[in-house]
Amino acid sequence: VEIEQSLRVALDTNQLFLVYQPQVDNQGNCLGAEALVRWTHPDKGVLSPIEFISIAEECGLIIELGTWVIDAACAQFKTWSDNGNHLKKISVNVSPKQFRDINFVNIVRDAIKKHQINPKRLILEITEGIVIKDISDTIDKMTVLKSLGVRLSIDDFGTGYSSLRYLKELPLDQLKIDQSFVRDIINQPKDAMIVTTIISIANNLELNVIAEGVENKEQVTMLIDKGCMQFQGYYFSKPKTAADFTQYLEEQA
Ligand code: G
Ligand code: G
Ligand code: MN
Ligand code: NA
C-alpha cells in the first residue's frame, strides 16, 4: 500500500524516466532502442521495474504508467528524428493487463498522432502471458494494432506458454529470444539447439528475430552463424539515459 501511494505520487510528479538500450545489427550499428522504465524514488533512489511493475499491475496503475511510457518513448523518438538521428525503431514493453485494457489501441493511436511518428517504427513488446488468456481476443486486438501500422514482437520468447499455434495465428513481426537461452549458448548444447530452432522458426515464418542478453563476442559470432542478425545486450551497451543515448547516436553517425 505504501509503495502504491508513492507510485501514485511518482506518476503525478514526474519521478519516472526512461532509459534506452541499443539494438544493433551484425556490424554493431544501431538500429533502434528498447525503452525501459526507471523510477527515481525520493527515499530509495532509482528503482528497477522489477520492483514496481507487478505492484502497478496489481493496483491498476499499470494503465497510467504504461500510457506514460508509450507517450514518453514516442516523444523521445520524435526528438531524435527531428535532430537527424534516424532510428529504425523504438521498442516499448507492454504488460498483459495494459494490453487487455479496452482503451489500449486508442492510447497507442493517440501517441503516434500526437508525436507524428511513423507507426511502423514503433514496436510493442508483448509477453507470451498475453496470449494464453483468450486467443481470439488477442488476435482481434493485434489485428487492430497492426492496422495502425505498428509492429508486434513477442518478448522473452520461449519462456512462457509458448504454443506454436499462436505463431500461426497471431499477426506478429518479431520474436525476441530470451536472455536465458542466450546466456549459455556457448557451453550448453541444449541452449544452442533451442536458439537455433527459434531462429529457424522466425526465419521460416518471415519474422524478424533479435537476441537479447548478448554479453560477449563469442555469442555474437554463434548467433550470426545461426542466422540471427539483430542483437541487444551488455556486450554492445547497457541501457543509457536519453542524453547518453543521444551522444552515442552522434558518435555512431
Ligand atoms: O530494464 P530492466 O532490464 O531492469 O527490466 C526489468 C524488467 O522490467 C524486464 O522484464 C522488462 O521487460 C520490464 N520493463 C522495463 N520497462 C518496462 C515498461 O515500461 N513496461 C513494462 N510493462 N515492463 C517493463
Ligand atoms: O524482459 P525484457 O527483455 O524487457 O528485459 C530486459 C532486461 O534485460 C532489462 O532489465 C535489461 O537491463 C536486461 N539486460 C539487457 N541486456 C542484458 C545483458 O546483456 N545481460 C543481462 N544479464 N541483462 C541484460
Ligand atoms: Mn523487453
Ligand atoms: Na525480454
Count of domains observed in the chain: 1
Average pLDDT for residues 165-171, to the nearest whole number? Answer: 90
* Chain mean pLDDT for the chain: 95
**125 within domain boundaries:** yes
pLDDT digits (tens, 9 = 90+) for 84-120: 998 999 999 999 999 999 999 999 999 999 999 999 9
Cα–Cα distance for residue pair 248/36, rounded to 1 Å = 17
What's the gap in Å between 38 CA and the centre of ligand 1?
Answer: 9
**250 within domain boundaries:** no
Tallying the residues shown for the chain, one arrives at: 253
What's the gap in Å between 93 CA and the centre of ligand 1?
Answer: 6
CA atoms within 13 A on the CB side of 147: 8
**102 within domain boundaries:** yes
Alpha helices (H) along the chain: 2-12, 53-59, 62-82, 96-100, 104-115, 129-133, 135-148, 164-169, 179-182, 189-204, 217-226, 242-252
pLDDT band at 130 (very low <50, low <70, confident <90, very high): confident
Q: Which of 175, 183, 212 to mutate to test the pocket of ligand 2 (most atoms within 8 A of CB)?
A: 212
**174 within domain boundaries:** yes
What's the gap in Å between 218 CA and the centre of ligand 3?
Answer: 23
Average pLDDT for residues 124-145, to the nearest whole number? Answer: 89
Quick check: CB of 234 below 6 Å from ligand 2? yes
pLDDT digits (tens, 9 = 90+) for 229-238: 999 999 999 9
Quick check: CB of 95 below 6 Å from ligand 1? yes
What's the gap in Å between 61 CA and the centre of ligand 2?
Answer: 23
Place of cell 508486434: 152
Sign of CA dihedral 168, 171, 173, 178: negative
Cα–Cα distance for residue pair 139/152, rounded to 1 Å = 12
Contact (CB, 8 A) for 40 and 46:
yes
The C-alpha cell at 87 is 532510428
Contact (CB, 8 A) for 126 and 155:
yes
**249 within domain boundaries:** no
CA atoms within 13 A on the CB side of 234: 6
Cα–Cα distance for residue pair 79/62, rounded to 1 Å = 25
pLDDT digits (tens, 9 = 90+) for 209-243: 999 999 999 999 999 999 999 999 999 999 999 99
Contact (CB, 8 A) for 94 and 101:
no
pLDDT of 245 strictly over 80: yes
The C-alpha cell at 38 is 526507471
Cα–Cα distance for residue pair 11/128, rounded to 1 Å = 27
Cα–Cα distance for residue pair 209/167, rounded to 1 Å = 13
Please classify residue 154 by burial: count the beta carbons closer than 10 Å to its beta carbon, then call 0-12 exposed, 13-18 middle and 19+ buried. Answer: buried
Quick check: CB of 36 below 6 Å from ligand 1? yes
**251 within domain boundaries:** no
pLDDT band at 205 (very low <50, low <70, confident <90, very high): very high
The pTM assigned to this predicted structure is 0.97
State which residues form the domain around 38. 2-244
Which CATH number belongs to the domain containing residue 109 in this structure? 3.20.20.450
**252 within domain boundaries:** no
**190 within domain boundaries:** yes
The angle at the Cα of 82, spanning 114 to 84, to the nearest 5 degrees, equals: 150
